[in-house]
Chains A and B, each alone.
Chain A
């Protein structure tokens, strides 16, 4: 009787008493994550809508702001994030196949990519601060030699969008580290990986938002 739950060695699905089947438990958990992802889209989306409206009102000022960004930094960061999304995705494949050592390596690479992203972001911000490119009224119009007196509005959007995204990267790095530790402890296997999958979906959302932020801020302006 006890062998009924056992597949691929000694791993079991641990179905909680309020669920009928392991499948129902898994899909309920995942649906909750998707509802959370919906709120993420709405939160970032509202700022994108704001950007679109103000861009429409002050196109020349937004063009001036975008021209002061270095697309090479955004480009490298895009590649780093895409690679981290790839390693996150394969880590779940490895756990599903009970290849925990490979999964740990993939998760560690993902955290490392997140760190590289933040280091590049740090140097970008530091450079902006050095030039006097601050958000809103803090922008040093004389030092910057800004053509448009309200250039601070563009940098308000720049710092809020990349800053909120950066906070998500840091949170994601923390969550992936937590998954990494639990994978080393042997908590996840072919019958239980919903935690890693949830964190993975969050990390892909972070990648997804950057995919739009990159052309919006760095290229098109």
Chain B
């Protein structure tokens, strides 16, 4: 039992003294996952909106496919990207395997389905009378989209927060694509994996506390915003 107490004490010490390794790992996690979330938002929201308001053959199947991919396993994303990005793969010329950029790419792909799907749900949930009102006021198609998205912004923000949560907490793709390189592609989740297997309990707990803390902060911010 004592080692857990020791671990927690060491963790607190690492956090309070702003241990440079811990800070660096945390910063990289935030940069990678926030960038991936922003990129995914910029793709998912317009795409989700256009799927919602356009009728085309196979729309139902597409939506079903998107929802199926909610549970896209992170290691599968990692595997596919690894095959593409390895030097002799189709995208090997980019030379980005084992870099933060590749991790951003992986996490963007990973969270796209859930963010697109939830955007569709959010926009579909906008009251029909509001939609009719916007149209009857003579809005152009673009204005209409803009206003509907604005009506649905709280739900869309929830989708964004969920996407970020999935991105920052995944470990499968991060280890395969990033390679867990110290000081370059080591993020919170891969560092916890490594440190636990090496019995560096204090470091693991410290990183775990930070990871939970980030989730808490993001959630709180979203909730406060939604309640305003």
Determine if chain A interacts with chain B. Answer: no
